[in-house]
A and B are shown apart, each in its own frame.
Chain A
Amino acid sequence: MATVELINVSKSFGSVEVLHDVNLSLERGEFVVFVGPSGCGKSTLLRMIAGLEDITSGELRIADVAMNNVMPAKRGIAMVFQSYALYPHMTAFENMAFGLEQAKLPSDEIRERVISAARMLQIDELLDRKPKQLSGGQRQRVAIGRAITRDPRVFLFDEPLSNLDAALRVDTRLEIAALHERLPETTMIYVTHDQVEAMTLADRIVVLNEGNIEQVGTPMALYEAPASLFVAGFIGSPRMNFLTGTVADAHGAQTYGIRPEHIALSRETGDWQGRVMLTERLGSDTFVHVAVEGVGRVNVRVEGRTDISARADVFLTPDPASVHLFDAGGRPVARRG
């Protein structure tokens, strides 16, 4: 059963159309991530579902009810903002209770809901503090708690990790994943420009580019069978190598794509010969940038450590099963041998 449905939805600001004819259907309890570069329309799409932006044309349905003209608070949704958007003059408790007060819930129930959400997020000790007295991670939890108390059908996250430092970002990511486990009935929509967040959190990923949906699928489907050059380049880290020229021509394609982890590196023998330009050592992996004559610059992942240094001559062998071929329009080409 679908909870959120977008039917031929478009959005224009003045004469500029920023979303073109989007169709999408989300299952109940699904964790869906909208991902894409900045300006692709992912935030606008989320804000339209939230009701913070009007829908220019098309229909939005939540739980089979048309929602285009329903007030945000009546849509059965809750949102966690990028900057948390906590009310600075209210305590954590008041922040979480404000929406319930507006809904005229009895104060006993408000209290009960806030406290149970706070327990779940382990912030029940912090309820009488104001946002100023909380750390970044704690504010984030209050913001999530505020959303939880509303007991929404759909949970919206707008780049919730982008204001946290790197270490906290990983922790919070894990907590959001855990939250999803605890609320299996709740559909979650999560917007990010970071493909790592998308890959680790999502049941399904929606890749957006320039106001169009490029591909919808599970993280692994996107990784293994990108439906376009754009998706191939966007999903996976480091980025897929895109080679043009003779290599691509030999396969009857415009672009020949191969991920760094799908190339074998050897000092003795291989398909391509090249010279090492640069090595990046991460400890667990090493990325070796190799200039191959007649092919181009290729990034190769080597597991663990390696003593290969710049200017060494090496051989590369791409795994034929993992080659992605694209035509001039950026669409995949069926592989020939």
Chain B
Amino acid sequence: MLFLVPMLVTLFVVAAWPLMRTIWFSLTDASLDLISQAEWVGFRNYLEYVDYGDGEGEYFGLLVDQRWWRAVWNTVWFSVVSVSFETLFGLIIALVLHQKFLGRGIVRAAVLIPWAIPTIVSARMWGWMMHDQFGILNDMAERLGLISEPIAWTASPDTAMIAVLIVDIWKTTPFMALLILAGLQMVPDDIYEAAKLDGVPAFRTFRKVTLPLILPAILVAVVFRALDALRIFDIIYVLTPNTDATRTMSVFARENLFDFDQFAYGSAASTVLFLIIAVITIAFIMATRMDLEGKRS
């Protein structure tokens, strides 16, 4: 047991305790400079009815904040779209990398490059490529005759979310592809040989044999990515700061915590994001009954 203590103490101090404090702050009137003098205010940061007298009154708090709900919507929309495309592209890349071809080792390494590039650097690189006047993306599109005039990818509210999605999908598809490829490699070759002997056409084999067998791997990858997507922050902070079109829950929370001096309010937003992710995680663990004791492996 002595071996476990240092690790557990560290995790407690960096994870469990701060989480509890965050939840506590969300129930106080804490502000950035006066954290220690925070006082309990109940659920006022989440929802409060202020009675103006004469039967008139108004609700305040996170749960009736339009900007918050916009951020929730942005986050969910971003997560669904990015994870869907990543799964699709990841599957395609995994299937290609699973084939035997010349230079496969180098290609596998090359595919990993977007994953290795720091998120911030990716956002900046793409920000430059998406530059409205000098960006190579507009240049390509114009040469191909897809657009007639340059698009202000990151500045225009119509395309800001698309820009963020492009960067995120580009950056995280390799991770998806790797996990799916690992699943593919666990399917024994003789199953394919059996299907071939049975005369099953290639596409049927994929749909009826390969896909069901790698579905667990895909599912795990999707959940991991979804949990990750729900907390997106870096790309948006760099690529499209300060626009309603791409403000996500994490961005909203940090703004309030450190930029708007609404420490308690930001903590409330953080808490809600934590709860959402916790519910998904627990549901996932229950659904898959993860093998914790390692008995089967």
Find out whether A and B make contact in their complex, taking CB atoms under 8 A apart as touching. Answer: no
